[in-house]
Structure 1
């Protein structure tokens, strides 16, 4: 029977330890082990650090550029004169809203691009073949594009509306048969408040034509009907003098950009003729100016005993026939 001494046991343990150490050393020195435990984790960590730095850098650059653009325009306005005009404030608020919206879009696009690259790079380091994923993403993107064409159309239309500065928050626009003030706008939806207080949500992709009443200037156009019995020269003179006096009233004098223009008779009917008057106003103020002018002109026509309606002409003939 074979016996083991203490020395034999010690030698065996020593041999086993040496074998274990050699095995660990061989495993550790294996390039595959270094690749899996050291190189790949370090590369993944580096990718994450680069993505975080790029994301923050892009966000900072876009935010700073937006802030500088807003401040530079403010400085230009301050150098050019007072900025307490409501029209200037509205235009500046619209421009700032547009720049902020574009800034948000830019930050989102930058983040999507950076982190998509980071995810693909990490998967590649983990040994995943990203080529099929990219191809599959392309197919899925095409499928989503076909399935959500209206949504994609809304976003692209909203992007071009912002880039081309077609309208902004605070503008009065006419679109799809609705006229109202823009309360909010995103890349997908434009929100309008009409004259009756109704809030309309209009998808940007459904907008084919839009009329903006708040760009540069507006025109108050008045059509003033009077009887065919009225003296046209007197009517033109009264209307023009009344309009020129009315634009000096405190209610509208800050809303008018140029003196009124009397265009004369513009429409004939069997029982009346319509005189046209136009006034150049600040953007979006044409309705208030037109209402005020209508009231003043009507009052002045009555004061000058101008025949306004067929009934007025009947009364005039009656008085003349009776010697009044």
Structure 2
């Protein structure tokens, strides 16, 4: 059995280290640990308050049934408030913890400022993104849940932050667009939209009859219970708009609520097909009304015969 003999001088050093270490633990438990607990507890409480506030805003947005714009605005503000508040609270808590451990944070902030200048020279696009995001929010250009066209893409805004905008298109693809790339914004969810349907009819049809039939069909769609709250103005048939050979175009315009055009246009197309078939009104580019030139006969003149039903 081996015995480790410690010289008296080294033993005294170990005792001093052990005593100092023990005192440091006691001081930490008595002074610093309660402060750390208080900082973390306050951070947790403030985060819960922010989360409760965000949930209330989203609940109010869900209750805005008749005001889609206000609902989208509340959801956007809720997302921005949550992200910004969490970042600010986390930074303040970090500074408080540095202060508790007697780590001076002023030099860190000064160094961060110097480093920030260097980073800023190489990250100007990030600041441009954030600046553009601020103007998007201030000017209320669009909100979460609205249908927009921006940066060459069209879709529904799923998230909006100071840095970027998330848009999901009709195919379900999610696009993340830096705000600095957004130069022009087309918002399809504000105020109203005009549903325009150009109807192509063969030139053999009586224009007055076509206009009367289209007007009646558009009015039927307007009065339909499924679209009564969507269509907000009487439909207008603009008459003969274009003539291209035997094809005549009659545009129909109907003012509807924002982002509600597709359903109205689909129903209008369906009724036009059924009614034109019933009334005997030929659509434009109907093969039954086209003429075909047969191959020339070397021994005779070319023949021009109507192609009927083929």
1:149 aligns with 2:127: no
Distance 2:177 2:56 in 1: 32
Range with greater deviation from structure 2 (107-116 or 196-205): 107-116
3-state SS in 2 of match to 1:233: helix
Count of matched residue positions in the alignment of Structure 1 and Structure 2: 263
Per-residue CA deviations over 1:57-85 (Å, capped at 9, x if unaligned) read: 9768867876787788899x6xxxxx4xx
Structure 1 residue ranges (4+ consecutive) displaced by more than 6 angstroms after TM superposition? 47-75, 119-123
**Residues 1-324 of structure 1: pairs in structure 2 closer than 5 A:** 83=65, 88=66, 90-108=68-86, 110-111=88-89, 114-115=92-93, 133-311=108-286, 313=289
Higher helix share goes to which structure? 1
Q: How far off its partner does 1:52 sit?
A: 8.1
Query: 1:233/1:96 Cα in 2 relative to 1: closer, same or farther (>3 Å)?
Result: same
Distance 1:195 1:64 in 2: 33
Contact 1:58/1:110 (CA < 8 Å) preserved in 2?
Answer: no
Distance 2:172 2:40 in 1: 46
Q: How far off its partner does 1:222 sit?
A: 0.7
Distance 1:74 1:212 in 2: 21
Query: 1:190/1:266 Cα in 2 relative to 1: closer, same or farther (>3 Å)?
Result: same
Contact 1:243/1:297 (CA < 8 Å) preserved in 2?
Answer: no
Gaps of 5+ in 1: 1-41, 78-82, 316-324
Distance 1:72 1:63 in 2: 14
Contact 2:72/2:145 (CA < 8 Å) preserved in 1?
Answer: yes
Q: How far off its partner does 1:105 sit?
A: 3.9
Distance 1:241 1:267 in 2: 21
Query: 1:135/1:274 Cα in 2 relative to 1: closer, same or farther (>3 Å)?
Result: same
CA RMSD of aligned residues (A): 3.8
Contact 2:230/2:257 (CA < 8 Å) preserved in 1?
Answer: yes
Q: How far off its partner does 1:313 sit?
A: 4.4
